[in-house]
Structure formats: C-alpha cells, structure tokens
C-alpha cells in the first residue's frame, strides 16, 4: 500500500472522537433550546400575536443566556481537548458528567422561561434549578485538570503538570461562583438570571485567554496560535 | 513511532472542528423543521385527512423556504470556512451569532406556518419575525470578511485582503435585502414569504460562484476547484 | 513546519464534509422517529398500559420501516460518496433534495402510524404521503449518477462513465417502484406499508452489492473491499 | 500534487464514518432524553413548582439511568470500532440493530418515568418495555464478535480470532442479565429500575478493562493504551 493510500484512509485520534461525540451532544442541546420558544396556539387565540410574543420576554432572555452558556462551554471544551493527547477511563467519565450537565440545561432553561417572570416561590425554584445544573457543568473542569496534573503523560507535548495546576485553579473558580448565584436566586430570581448571563460573559472573556498560543510555542503564532 | 502510525492518528485542524460543530447545529436545525409539519390529531378528528393537509399549505411553503435557506447557508458556510486557515476569538464569536440565527430559525418558521395563512396583523408580525431572524443570519458574514481583510494571516494561502474586501461587499448585500423584505412583510406578509424564498434562490445562484475555483488556482480545476 | 506537524493538522476533503453534514441530517432524522412512539397520557388514563401499547402496533411497524429505510439510505449514500472525488454545485443541490426527503420522512411516518390502522380514505392518504416522500428520496440517485456519467472527472480514480451509467440505471429502479407502491397505497394502504418495508429490504440486499470491491481492484479485497 | 496537498485532503476510513453516524445517533438519543423532563404547565398551575418537581423523582432516576446507559454504550462502541479495520455488510446490519436499540431507548425511558412511580400492572409493563429495549441493545455485541472471530481479517492488526472469541463471551453476558432483569421487572418494577442502573454501572467497570492496552502492545502504553 503506497503512502498516498495511507493518507487516503486515516483514523481520527481518540481525542478527536471524544470531541466529535461531545460536539454532537452540545450542538443538539444548543439547538433543542429553540423548542422552548414555541408559542402555544391557545396563548394567542384571536388576540394579538405581538402581545403574546412580547409578554414572553423572559423566555427569550433565558434562551439567549443558555445559548451563550453552551456556546462558551463548547469553546472551552474545544480548547481543553486540544491540550489532551489521550483519554483514559477517568477523563471519559468526567467528560460524561460535563455532557450530562450540558444535555440537561434545556430543562432548567424552560423552567426559568416559564416561571421567573411570574415571581413568587416558583420563580426562585426555577432559577435555583438552573443554578444547580450550571454548577454540575462547572464541576468536572477542575477535576479533569487535577487528573491531568497527576498524569501529565496524558497531555499534549508542550503542556506539563505545572500548566495543569494553573488550569485546575482557573477551572475551579466557576463552582463557587455558580453556587453563590444559586443562593442569590432563592432570594432574587431575576437578579440571578442576570448573574448567570454575567458569568457566561466572564467565561467568554476568560476563554479568549484560553485561545492564546500555547506556552513555549512558536512566537510567530501563525501555525500554533489557534492551532486547534 | 513510524510515519504510518502518525497517519493513523490524525487530529483535525481547528477549522474542521468549528465546521463540525457548525455542521451539527445546522444539520439539527434543518431536521427539526419537520416537527412543525406535525398535524394535531384534533385538526382531523373524523374529518378528511386530505383536507386537513391541504389547508395547511403555508406550513409546507414555510418548511421548504426554511430548509432551502439553511441548506444554502450551510453551503456558503462550508465555502467560507474552506478559505480560513485558523479561527481567532472574534471569528468564533461571529460564528456563534450566525449559529444563533440558524438555530433560532425554526421558531419564526413555525410562526409563519401558523399565522401567515390567517391574514391580519398576526400574519404581518409572523412574517416580520422571520425577516428579523434572517437578518441576524445575514449580519455576521460581512463582519467576518472585514475581520479577515484586517487579519489576512487568518486566511488560507491564495487568499488575501483584496479577496476578503470583495467578499465583504458581496456578503454585505444580504442585510439590506432582508431588512427591506422585513419592512415589506409588515404590509404584505404573503409577498414577503415569496421574497424570502427568492432571496434564498438568489443566494443559491451566488453560491455557485462561491464554489468556483479559487483565484490563481490550477486552471484545470480538478484538484482545487471544489477543493473543500 | 515538519511533516509530522502537517499530519497533525489535516483538513477533511470536501466529500468528507458533505458526508458529515448528510450523516448529521440522517442521524437526526432516524433518531427523531422515536418521538412518534410517545404515548399520550390521555390514551392510558386509569386503563391498561399494555392494551394502550398493543393497540398502537401500526406505529411500531411504521417506526421500523422508516428506521430501516433511513438506515439503508445512509448505507447507500455512504457508498455513493466514497466513489465521488469532489462535489460541484449540481451534486450539492441533488444531495440537498435527497436530504429534504430524508428529513421530511418522519412526517409521513407519523401520518401512517396514526391513520393506517384506522382504515378508510384517511389511511390511503397517509400511506400515499409516505410513498410521495419515499419517491422524493429515490429521485436524486439516478440524476446524481447521470451527472457523474457526464462529468467522470468528479469520480474517484477507478470509476468511469461506464460505471456511472450502470449505477444510473440501477439507481433509477427505485422511482417507478415507489410510484407503483404509492398508487397501490390509495387502494390498499396496509398492503402498501408491507411494500415499503419490502422495498427497503430489497435495497438492503442490493446495497450488499454496492459494498462489494470496486471494479478492477485488488482481488484479495482486504484493502479495498470495504474501503470506505 | 505534492505530499503536503495530499495531507490537506484526507478521506476518513470506513470505520471512522460508521462511528461518525453511530456517534450522531447516540449523541442525539442521549440529548433527546431531556425532553421527557419537561414539566407540563397543567401539573403546576397555581401550586408549588418545588412539589411538582419532587413528585416526579422517578423521571429523574430514569433520565440518569438512560443517560448512563447510552454513555456507556458509546464508550464500548468506541472501543469496539477501534479494533475493527473495516466493516462488511453483516457488521453494518448488526450495527444498525444496535443503533435501533439506542435510538428507541428514550421511548421506554419515558414509560418508566411516567408509570413506575404509579405502581400496579402498568409499572410492570413500563419496566419490562425498558428491559426489552435494553436486551435489543445487548444482543448485537456478541454477534458482532462472533462474525469477527470467523473473519479475523476484518480486525485491526494486533487482534485475532482468539481475542474475538474472548470478547464474544464477554459481550454475551449482557443478554441473559437483561432478560433476567426484564423478568424481575414484571414482579418488582422499582427493583428492576435499580437493576438496570446496576447493570449500567457494571458495564462501566467492565469498559475500563476494554479501555486497557491492546494485547501484545507496547508495554509503556503511552502510544497505544488509549489509542483511539
């Protein structure tokens, strides 16, 4: 078999396949969110569609927050996987926990859309459910980095235990922030909705750092900067 | 590790992965459209299924228009990404905005399917909602090309700032057209539905140009013409 | 940049990307079918779940037929794309028509599930709708092969206009068969349901041929037989 | 065409494409499960959202069990495919049966969620339906390995008929276990729910073995251990 043939028939590396499955789950979860926008016919009847749409503004706010959150998680996940050379069983499990959080997010998002605008105890419960799910999504990151710190042989060349330690600390910030927002949500559900959006935006800024060139890479950055 | 092994275990480039996630979102959005075709049992009862199907013709028109629109966006997106060597944070964000538009499209499509046939103010609101979402999908293209014009190092070899400038102008046409169609939809919703389909068809013709060989490529075109 | 680096950062060929998008649409369409199995709570109430499940047997038959149909289309599509070296605009459009048929199939499947068991005119309409959609899925194959016959430079090495001609004839058989089954469905909807399953099974056997070694390939078949 | 060009335009091997389609189906099935968590508005009304959520605990248990089950099947599928060099028609069909089981799982999961908490005959029927679907998912594994034992030329280098025999026996354990759990479910549906979760957990432990280095591989394990 010639070299040309070989190149014709490549296998993807294990991390590419984990990413393919994860990308699939995240792409579906982010796209399923639209189903909650659906307007029940009974809510319009012979009345004004415009009024029926406008009164549902918390639904759109929740949709945007959840879309942004999953979008950023995808971006960060993408950056994480680019630094991992291979997955062992523990990384697979932690990744499944992360995907559980992402795949479940449309559920609390629909609760927030439905109940936060109505106020009262139900608004608090809805906002807190979103917070618990977001916490579940924030948890695996630092556990993954701790495992990578202890097993730096799983990392791509150019990354080591020191790098993993730093990422473990950075990834650990999300959990207390989301726990705090969840507690706030019990008292001020609308404020918590704003907090969730703010955290997503904060992660967005942080992820820009994550997209920076790897340590010690070619300073010109053209080949490696946005390498994966 | 031998060269043969290396070829066995490839990583995808960053743009391939962005495309994989984008393809996922677009494939799901285009397939979720079918859920709106679903016929409520109550609409048939003991009556004629054929009548119940035929009276819903605006649903099928909206389905076809939305399917065609997402199909063409996929084609153009595919062509765009083939010209980008790597994604920086700004391109990632603009791509997420584009995906937000695509993922949201099933919602105004279902509004159009439900209300445009009924006429009145609700028909106008439904058609205008579709127009706003289509405008959101049209917006990121020229911003992406402007960013690529200012950072031609992000482009694949063979493309430069001049090329990006031309694409920026071409990509910018969509926004005023969709804004105009949205305004028309407020007065003549059914006409606007036709306009949306016409714009999709127009893009389809334009995208044929986009599928043409890259500038300065091998004139035989066999290797590079439909390169990606 | 070393050769090792190059191998690390591959781009997928254009046909791989078309297949990725097509695979996405087909994977989603085949998985969305399950939503029609959902049992309305009202249909059970305080009664027997077993009875409520058993009375819905046409739903399961329709589910299996549609799952099998999309599964086989995926298999044949996969085999088709392996023989195409690159996609031009016309192939892209024909592929979109095929995907339109696949993505739409869950709709007539749910009509069949709901109405074929009830008999009468509605059963005929439901079964005929399925037939029309299946015809739409059968149409693009021979058009694709005709285009490949006229542009053999789009084919992978080892395939030529003669091969494309033969495939065009083979691919063209599906259309009259599905048209005939659609006509039968107007008179005998339950029989047509059996016919649709039989056609799928027939394609299954035919696709085994399609999975055979390419003409003129290594007779040992180990490298090329199931090459893609 | 230079070697650099070749590497730019790779085709995926046939097994990568089977995995891409399978990953798509599994990613969608695992993500569609969330739709069952959706809380009907009527169940809350003016009452307590918290109460309405808590009373639905079997829904969450079923969601977690099904998510875990599909997650583990993905992991095992991934490990299986890494050992297969190419797919023939029989492997394609067995894989489709497996995907049929996975894609159908959200249906019995929703039955379990709805009826197991209510007790009585309906609880038994719901739990047994889940068991039947899980049995369908367990069936293809040993058939696949038997076929690979008889056709070891389909295996990747490093695996042989002896290895396939051992895997066939290991893969065959699932079927009697799920059949037994299905029988238990007729008498003790809640206990069966626990059994299904236990089987998933058992597979999880077993799959760790499946992730171990291939027989006769480089003892350092760094290159091949989690190879794919």
> Quick one: average pLDDT of D80-109?
90
* pLDDT higher than 90, residue D150: yes
Alpha-carbon distance of B28 to A20, in angstroms, equals 15
CA of D74, closest CA in chain A: separation in Å? 9
Closest CB from D10, D88, D110 relative to C10? D10
Is D191 near chain B, with CB under 8 Å? no
Is A28 near chain D, with CB under 8 Å? yes
pTM of this prediction exceeds 0.90: no
- Bridge partner residues of B155 (DSSP): B84
Chain D hits for C65, Cβ within 8 Å: none
Give the model's pLDDT for residue A218. 36
Q: Backbone dihedral region of C45: left (phi > 0), alpha (psi from -120 to 50 degrees) or beta?
A: left
At A5, the pLDDT band (50, 70, 90 cuts) reads very low
Give the model's pLDDT for residue C228. 34
Give the model's pLDDT for residue C130. 92
The residue of chain D nearest to residue C63, with distances taken between CA atoms, is: D104
Rounded (to 5) percent helix, strand, coil in chain A: 75, 0, 20
Closest CB from D3, D15, D75 relative to A92? D75
Instruction: Render pLDDT for C105-135 as a digit per residue (tens, 0 to 9).
Output: 999 998 988 888 888 889 999 999 999 999 9
Is A11 near chain C, with CB under 8 Å? no
The residue of chain A nearest to residue B23, with distances taken between CA atoms, is: A27
Instruction: Render pLDDT for C171-226 as a digit per residue (tens, 0 to 9).
Output: 788 888 889 999 999 998 888 888 888 887 777 776 544 444 344 333 333 333 33
Q: Backbone dihedral region of C80: left (phi > 0), alpha (psi from -120 to 50 degrees) or beta?
A: alpha
Chain C hits for B26, Cβ within 8 Å: 21, 24
* pLDDT higher than 50, residue B218: no
Average pLDDT, chain A: 79
ipTM score of the complex?
0.80
Give the model's pLDDT for residue C99. 94
Give the model's pLDDT for residue A194. 82
Chain B hits for C27, Cβ within 8 Å: 27
Chain D hits for C53, Cβ within 8 Å: 125, 129
Is B80 near chain A, with CB under 8 Å? no
Determine the residue among B93, B104, B106, B120 to mutate to test chain A binding: the one whose Cβ has the most chain A Cβ atoms within 10 Å: B104
Q: Where are the beta strands (DSSP E) in A83-188?
A: none
Which single residue is written with the structure tokens 């028909």?
B123
Tell which residue, A69, A28, A34, has the closest CA to residue D24. A28
Q: How far apart, in Å, do the first and last CA atoms of chain C sit?
A: 30
- Bridge partner residues of C12 (DSSP): D10
The residue of chain B nearest to residue D21, with distances taken between CA atoms, is: B24
Give the model's pLDDT for residue A213. 39
> Quick one: average pLDDT of B158-187?
88
CB contact under 8 Å between A227 and C9, yes or no, is yes
At A170, the pLDDT band (50, 70, 90 cuts) reads confident
Give the model's pLDDT for residue A82. 84
| Burial status of residue A185 (CB atoms within 10 A of its CB: 0-12, 13-18, 19 or more) | buried
Average pLDDT, chain B: 79
* pLDDT higher than 50, residue C54: yes
Give the model's pLDDT for residue D27. 92
Is B223 near chain A, with CB under 8 Å? no
Chain A hits for B12, Cβ within 8 Å: 12, 16, 228
Task: Return the structure tokens found at A194.
Answer: 């704003």
Alpha-carbon distance of B31 to B173, in angstroms, equals 28
* pLDDT higher than 80, residue C136: yes
Tell which residue, A95, A189, A76, has the closest CA to residue A147. A95
Closest CB from A28, A222, A226 relative to B28? A28
> Quick one: average pLDDT of D176-201?
86
The residue of chain D nearest to residue A120, with distances taken between CA atoms, is: D48
* pLDDT higher than 60, residue D203: yes
* pLDDT higher than 60, residue A56: yes
CA of B220, closest CA in chain A: separation in Å? 21
At D43, the pLDDT band (50, 70, 90 cuts) reads low
CB contact under 8 Å between A153 and D41, yes or no, is no
* pLDDT higher than 90, residue B7: no
Rg (CA), chain C: 21
Name all chains with 3 or more CB-CB pairs below 8 Å to chain D: A, B, C
Give the model's pLDDT for residue B215. 40
Instruction: Render pLDDT for A63-120 as a digit per residue (tens, 0 to 9).
Output: 988 898 899 888 888 888 888 988 888 898 899 999 999 999 999 998 988 888 888 8
CB crowding B99-133: b at 16 or more within 10 Å, else e = bbbbbbbbbbbbbbbbbbbeeeebbbbbbbbbbeb
* pLDDT higher than 60, residue C44: yes
Give the model's pLDDT for residue B197. 80
At B95, the pLDDT band (50, 70, 90 cuts) reads very high
Q: What is the dihedral of CA B154, B157, B161, B162, to 10 degrees?
A: -160
Three-state secondary structure call for residue D190: helix
The residue of chain B nearest to residue D20, with distances taken between CA atoms, is: B20
> Quick one: average pLDDT of A197-209?
69
Chain C hits for A1, Cβ within 8 Å: 223
CB contact under 8 Å between C227 and A9, yes or no, is yes
Instruction: Render pLDDT for C62-110 as a digit per residue (tens, 0 to 9).
Output: 898 889 889 988 888 888 888 898 888 889 889 999 999 999 999 999 8
- Bridge partner residues of D155 (DSSP): D84
At A207, the pLDDT band (50, 70, 90 cuts) reads low
Chain B hits for C84, Cβ within 8 Å: none
CB contact under 8 Å between C12 and B15, yes or no, is no
Name all chains with 3 or more CB-CB pairs below 8 Å to chain B: A, C, D
At B129, the pLDDT band (50, 70, 90 cuts) reads very high
Who wins on pLDDT, D162 or B215?
D162
CB contact under 8 Å between A103 and D20, yes or no, is no
Angle of helix C89-104 versus helix B189-210 axis, rounded to 10: 140
């Amino acid at each position: 078999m010639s070299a040309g043939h070989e190149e014709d028939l490549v296998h993807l590396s294990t991390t590419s396949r984990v990413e393919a499955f994860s990308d699939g789950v995240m792409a579906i979860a982010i796209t399923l969110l639209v189903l909650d926008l659906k307007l029940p016919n009974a809510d319009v009847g012979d009345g004004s569609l415009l009024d029926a749409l406008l009164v549902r503004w918390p639904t759109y706010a929740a949709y945007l927050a959840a879309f942004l959150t999953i979008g950023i998680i995808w971006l960060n996940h993408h950056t994480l996987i680019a630094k991992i050379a291979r997955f062992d069983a523990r990384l697979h499990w932690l990744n499944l926990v992360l995907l559980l959080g992402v795949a479940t997010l449309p559920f609390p998002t629909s609760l927030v859309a439905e109940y936060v605008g109505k106020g009262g105890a139900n608004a608090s419960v809805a906002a807190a459910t979103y917070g618990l799910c977001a916490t579940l999504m924030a948890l695996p990151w630092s556990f993954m980095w701790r495992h990578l710190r202890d097993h730096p042989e799983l990392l791509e060349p150019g990354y080591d235990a020191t790098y993993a330690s730093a990422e473990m600390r950075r990834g650990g910030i999300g959990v207390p922030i989301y726990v705090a927002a969840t507690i706030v949500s019990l008292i001020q559900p609308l404020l918590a909705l704003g907090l969730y959006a703010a955290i997503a935006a904060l992660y967005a800024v942080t992820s820009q750092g994550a997209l920076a060139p790897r340590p010690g890479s070619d300073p010109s950055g053209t080949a490696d900067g946005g390498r994966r």
